[in-house]
Amino acid sequence: MSKNVALNKWVEEVASLTTPDKIYWCDGSTEERERLINETVKNGSGVRLNPQLRPGSVLFRSDPSDVARVEDRTFICTSLQEEAGPTNNWMHPEEMKAILNDLFKGSMKGRTMYVIPFCMGPVDSPMSMFAVQLTDSPYVVINMGIMTRMGDVALQKIEEGADFIKCLHGLGYPLEEGQQDVPWPCAPMEKKYISHFPETREIISFGSGYGGNALLGKKCLALRIGSSIAREEGWLAEHMLILKLTNPEGEVFYICGAFPSATGKTNLAMIQPTLPGWKAETVGDDIAWMHFDEDGRLYAINPEAGFFGVASGTSSDSNPNAMASVSHNTVFTNVALTDEGDVWWEDIDGPVPDHLIDWQGNDWNKGDASKPAHPNGRFTVAASQCPSIADNWEDPRGVPIDAILVGGRRPSTVPLVNESFDWNHGIFLGSVLGSEVTAAVISDKIGQVRRDPFAMLPFSGYNIGDYLLHWLEMAKESTEDKLPKIYSVNWFRKDSENDFLWPGFGDNSRVLEWITRRLKGEVEAVETPIGLLPKEEDLRLEGLDLKEGAMKALLEVDPEAWKAELASIKEHYKMYDRLPEELAQQLKALEERLNSA
């Protein structure tokens, strides 16, 4: 029980509806976490890893039907459909709550309902938000204890009067007396609902135990509900990394970056610069809450306390800081298990073992056609374990943002780096961010670009046109000289032989170095129809083994290719029912510049 009467009443109401056997209030302690892990190991849902190889770590395997976020079962529930906009699934709040009320009746029978008070952001930050999640999943409790400031530390603030957001989650798998449980309980796909109620600031999720469907502080609160609150209150809740960069002279720069999936976001957040004397530190890898401070600068906090990262492709070559982070006290989900009791996934360090237990618990032998680790296999680890974590990553004020990057996976057309002419042009670049579809994804869509404005298409909690308008209007809170500069970047340009022209990874620091020099006014840029590009001689390229002509191609702006890009952007903008006029003007201005080139 809590000293907060409203919280107690809500817990009692949900318990009356869901009829759990027990109610447990989480305190967020290490002892609690270990006890819950031991319980999951005992009932067969968790596997303790070899303490000599991966101390304090555990592996979970989900049901094959419950392996990722389910966007088609994710809803924004507002009184008017146009408030949700053309990119969200919509249902009226009353209709959705009627469906969910029926589903939740008796749904926690035979289980424990856990009460999880938590804070998104440093507990003492004015930018942070408090919430309480009710769930019948010990897996969720264990992960929320890593990803948020959870337990007594949050409950105390709520009892002192802090507002809290209600987050209800249920697995949808009640147990009759004597019924044997399954390792990963969940509901069938047609009964899964991840629903958001911006008008009442509630989140209700049913039927899935996985990732952002169940860890309601992450995408649900931090982005979908968060972005709606941010619009109302005049700040930004964004799907962005936060990077701290220090040059050899000791000058510090803070950079945010919006990158859709499979575009190197986590790698950039934990980058190890190849340029001598440069230091990069991680403030956040996934989400940034940004507000204008009294000095007119844009400040950002990372609302999360941990990383929920994709394991596949992570190695000491691609991301040594991530590999060091998960060396201990880590929760792994849907990766393979070695005979020695360690984890394994595609592209991890070392040779492929002859034998593994795959992510579904079956024997796997080298040469088998199936993949032993799921492509969306995950690791959950405290941010404090990351070697590159910045010493001020929990600064309650946040860190002042100097530049914002928007980057997609584009084999052609988009140059290595492109500075916007001004703030509004930068919002235009963010609005048309996207990645090109390759044969490995959808064969009949090859060459088409899937647009993902500011990497927020699945995460904006309200109309995407209004979301972009909010970005434009935020400039009124500051002045052009204090606003962050906005840059488009593209590490993935290829040549005619389908080889990458740019080495990427730690060498992306060379692009960041040029950006910092632009911020300081030390180098001029080349004005093109699409923006401001570097002169080749101003990029630090020493030590790189680039193909002949690579830099010319990386910095090329082909007017004909960009005219085709224009057509693609126009098609993309057609889906907006509330396209800001400023973006229509930016598109027209780009067309005029291209026609004059």
- Residue 436: band (very low, low, confident or very high) from pLDDT cuts 50, 70, 90: confident
For residues 391-420, average pLDDT: 97
| DSSP H or E run through 582 | helix 581-596
Q: Could you tell me the sign of the dihedral formed by the alpha carbons of 367, 369, 372, 375, in that order?
A: positive
Type of residue numbered 202: E
- Please give the pLDDT value at position 445: 60
**What three-state secondary structure class fits 555?**
coil
3-state secondary structure 219-254: HHHHHHHHHHHHHHHCCEEECCEEEEEECCCCCEEE
CB 156 within 8 A of CB 124: no
Where does 171-240 show beta strands of DSSP type E? 193-197, 202-206, 236-238
CATH architecture of 5-46+68-235: 3-Layer(aba) Sandwich (3.40)
State the Cα–Cα distance between residues 355 and 344, nearest whole angstrom.
11
Q: Tell me what the pLDDT averaged over the chain comes to.
A: 96
How many residues are there in the chain? 597
CB 258 within 8 A of CB 239: yes
- Please give the pLDDT value at position 216: 98
- Give start-end residues of each CATH 3.40.449.10 domain in the chain: 5-46+68-235
- Give start-end residues of each CATH 3.90.228.20 domain in the chain: 402-596
Q: Which of 112, 113, 124, 114 is nearest to 149 (CA)?
A: 124
| DSSP H or E run through 243 | strand 241-246
State the Cα–Cα distance between residues 592 and 8, nearest whole angstrom.
61
Topology annotation, domain 307-385: Phosphoenolpyruvate Carboxykinase; domain 2 (2.170.8)
Q: Which residues of 228-238 are buried (b: 16+ CB within 10 A; e: fewer)?
A: bbbbeeebbbb
- Residue 245: band (very low, low, confident or very high) from pLDDT cuts 50, 70, 90: very high
- Please give the pLDDT value at position 121: 98
CATH architecture of 402-596: Alpha-Beta Complex (3.90)
- Please give the pLDDT value at position 597: 81
3-state secondary structure 454-472: HHCCCCCCCCHHHHHHHHH
Alpha helices in 373-492 (DSSP H): 423-431, 464-474
- Please give the pLDDT value at position 437: 66
State the Cα–Cα distance between residues 224 and 71, nearest whole angstrom.
12
How many CB atoms lie under 10 A from the CB of residue 240? 30
Cβ-in-10-Å burial (0-12, 13-18, 19+) of 110 comes to middle
- Give start-end residues of each CATH 2.170.8.10 domain in the chain: 307-385
In this predicted structure, the answer to whether residue 442 has a pLDDT above a threshold of 70 is: no
State the Cα–Cα distance between residues 113 and 116, nearest whole angstrom.
10
Cβ-in-10-Å burial (0-12, 13-18, 19+) of 375 comes to middle
Angle at 242 between CA 210 and CA 378, to 5 degrees: 25
**What three-state secondary structure class fits 43?**
coil
State the Cα–Cα distance between residues 321 and 272, nearest whole angstrom.
8
**For 344, phi and psi rounded to 5 degrees?**
-150, 145
- Residue 440: band (very low, low, confident or very high) from pLDDT cuts 50, 70, 90: very low
- Residue 252: band (very low, low, confident or very high) from pLDDT cuts 50, 70, 90: very high
Hunting for tokens 């488009």 — which residue is that?
A: 488
Torsion of CA 36, 38, 42, 46, to 10 degrees: 80
Q: Which two tokens stand for residue 593?
A: 């510049």
In this predicted structure, the answer to whether residue 541 has a pLDDT above a threshold of 90 is: yes
**For 317, phi and psi rounded to 5 degrees?**
-80, -45
Percent over 90 (pLDDT), the chain? 95
Q: Pick left, alpha or beta for residue 404 (phi over 0 → left; psi -120 to 50 → alpha; otherwise beta).
A: beta
